C-alpha cells in the first residue's frame, strides 16, 4: 500500500511517501509559515523522487489538529481534494501525537508543545518511561508553567520540545529550574517519517473521506457586523469613548484629550455605532494636505468583526475628499494585526521612530499610503 502523508499544522511543514511500513522519501521545511504555495511543490518533488504518480497512492494521512487554523485548513482541503479525485481514504492524525514520535526512543516524560498564542501552548503529556507512549494528558491549550506543571508526574524531569520552545524557553527554565530537559532544535517540528509511521499504523476504522479539523478552542474571528453607522464624533460621545479607549490602549485618551481633538481645528474624527452604542472610532489630523491618522480603536468586545477595517476605509475615503496627497500613521512592530490591515490597504513602511511609545519604549513603524497625483492628467481637479 502506497501512502502519502503531510502536515501544515504549525510553523513547519512536512510530507512523506512510503510503501507499507517503509519510507521512500520525506521532506521538511521551516522556512515559511505560509504553507499554501509550497505544499503542492513539496508533494510533487516527493513523487518525482519516488517515481510514483498520484494515481499510485492508496492512502492519505493528514494532521487535523491542534494547530494553526489556517494551516489545518490548507492541509485538510488538500487531502480532501486528493481523496475525492482518487477515491481513496484519509487517515486523520493528531499533530501532537506525530510530534511526540520524534522522541519515541526517549525513556521519560514527553511534553510536545506547539505555539497557540494568547500566552498558551497546545500540549499533551506522554509517559514513555516504559516505552509505551501512554498519553496521560490529552492535547489541550494550556499555560506551560503552573497550569501544566500540575499535570506532570512528581519527581520526573520532563522533556519539552516543539515549535513553541524557543519563545518559552527562558520562562520555562526560570520556572522549572534544573527539573526540565529540552529537545534538539532540529527535532522541534513534525517530520515526514513520523507522519508515515502513524498513517501506516492507523486502523482502517479511523479512515474517512471527509477529515475535519480539531479545534481545541473557538476561532478568534466573530461574525462580521452589518448593522452600523459611521457618524461624526460629537462631545456627547466622549464618555463612551473614554470607556472604549481603556479597553484598547495601555495609555488611553482622557476626556480632556478627546475634547482637545474635537476643537483643534485640524482634527477630523468619526465613530462607529453598532448594537446601540459606540463600538469604534478613528480619525486624523489634516495638515498641509497630509492626513496623519492619530487613532483607530475598537472596543475589546467587538474586535475581529471588521470594524477597524471599516473605519480605516472610511478614513481613506475622507482623506481623498479633503484633497489630501496621502495618509500616514505610526504603528507598533508588535501589532501584527494592524500591520497586516494597513498593508492590505496599500500602506508601505517608510521609516522608524525610535522609542516612540512611552509605555514600553517600543519603536514605531512609519507607514504611508500616497495617492496618485492626477493634477496633470485632469487639471479640472
Inter-residue contact 238 to 258 (CB < 8 Å): yes
Burial (CB < 10 A; 0-12, 13-18, 19+), residue 133, is: middle
Query: Per-residue DSSP letters for 223-250?
Result: PPP-SEEEEE--GGGHHHHHHHHHHH-S
Determine whether 215 is an active site residue: no
Give long-range contacts, CB 8 A cutoff, 24+ apart: 122-127.
122/66, 122/67, 122/95, 122/96, 122/164, 122/216, 123/96, 123/148, 124/96, 124/97, 124/100, 125/151, 125/152, 125/158, 126/100, 127/153
- The active-site residue out of 122, 176, 269, 342 is 342
- The active-site residue out of 207, 330, 356, 357 is 330
Determine whether 122 is an active site residue: no
The packing angle between helices 36-50 and 69-86, to 10°, is 40
User: Length of the chain in residues, anyone?
Assistant: 381
Residues tagged active-site:
330, 342
Amino acid at each position: 500500500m502506497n501512502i502519502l502523508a503531510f502536515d501544515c499544522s504549525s510553523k513547519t511543514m512536512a510530507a512523506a511517501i512510503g510503501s507499507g511500513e517503509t519510507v521512500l522519501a520525506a521532506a521538511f521545511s521551516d522556512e515559511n509559515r505560509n504553507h499554501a504555495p509550497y505544499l503542492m511543490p513539496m508533494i510533487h518533488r516527493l513523487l518525482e523522487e519516488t517515481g510514483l504518480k498520484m494515481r499510485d497512492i492508496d492512502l492519505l494521512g493528514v494532521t487535523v489538529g491542534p494547530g494553526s487554523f489556517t494551516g489545518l485548513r490548507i492541509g485538510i482541503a488538500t487531502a480532501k481534494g486528493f481523496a475525492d479525485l482518487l477515491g481513496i481514504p484519509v487517515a486523520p492524525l493528531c499533530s501532537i501525537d506525530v510530534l511526540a514520535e520524534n522522541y519515541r526512543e526517549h525513556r521519560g516524560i514527553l511534553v510536545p508543545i506547539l505555539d497557540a498564542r494568547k500566552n498558551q501552548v497546545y500540549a499533551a503529556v506522554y509517559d514513555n518511561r516504559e516505552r509505551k507512549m501512554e498519553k496521560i494528558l490529552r492535547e489541550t491549550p494550556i499555560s506551560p508553567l503552573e497550569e501544566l506543571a500540575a499535570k506532570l508526574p512528581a519527581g520526573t524531569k520532563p522533556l519539552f520540545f516543539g515549535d513553541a520552545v524557543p519563545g518559552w524557553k527562558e520562562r520555562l527554565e526560570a520556572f522549572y529550574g534544573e527539573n526540565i530537559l529540552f529537545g534538539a532544535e532540529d527535532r522541534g517540528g513534525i517530520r515526514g517519517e513520523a507522519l508515515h509511521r502513524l498513517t501506516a499504523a492507523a486502523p482502517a476504522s479511523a479512515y474517512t473521506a471527509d477529515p475535519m479539523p480539531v479545534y481545541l478552542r473557538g476561532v478568534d474571528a466573530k461574525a462580521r457586523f452589518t448593522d452600523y453607522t459611521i457618524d461624526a464624533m460629537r462631545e456627547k460621545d466622549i464618555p463612551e469613548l473614554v470607556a472604549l479607549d481603556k479597553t484598547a490602549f495601555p495609555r488611553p485618551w482622557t476626556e480632556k484629550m478627546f475634547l482637545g481633538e474635537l476643537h483643534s481645528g485640524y482634527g477630523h474624527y468619526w465613530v462607529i455605532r453598532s448594537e446601540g452604542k459606540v463600538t469604534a472610532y478613528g480619525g486624523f489630523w489634516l495638515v498641509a494636505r497630509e492626513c496623519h491618522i492619530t487613532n483607530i480603536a475598537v472596543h475589546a468586545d467587538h474586535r475581529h468583526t471588521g470594524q477597524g477595517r471599516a473605519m480605516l476605509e472610511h478614513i481613506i475615503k475622507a482623506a481623498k475628499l479633503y484633497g489630501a496627497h496621502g495618509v500616514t500613521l505610526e504603528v507598533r512592530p508588535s501589532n501584527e494585526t494592524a500591520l497586516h490591515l494597513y498593508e492590505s490597504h496599500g500602506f508601505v513602511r517608510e521609516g522608524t521612530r525610535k522609542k516612540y511609545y512611552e509605555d514600553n519604549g517600543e519603536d514605531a513603524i512609519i507607514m504611508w499610503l500616497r495617492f496618485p497625483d492626477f493634477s496633470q492628467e485632469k487639471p479640472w481637479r
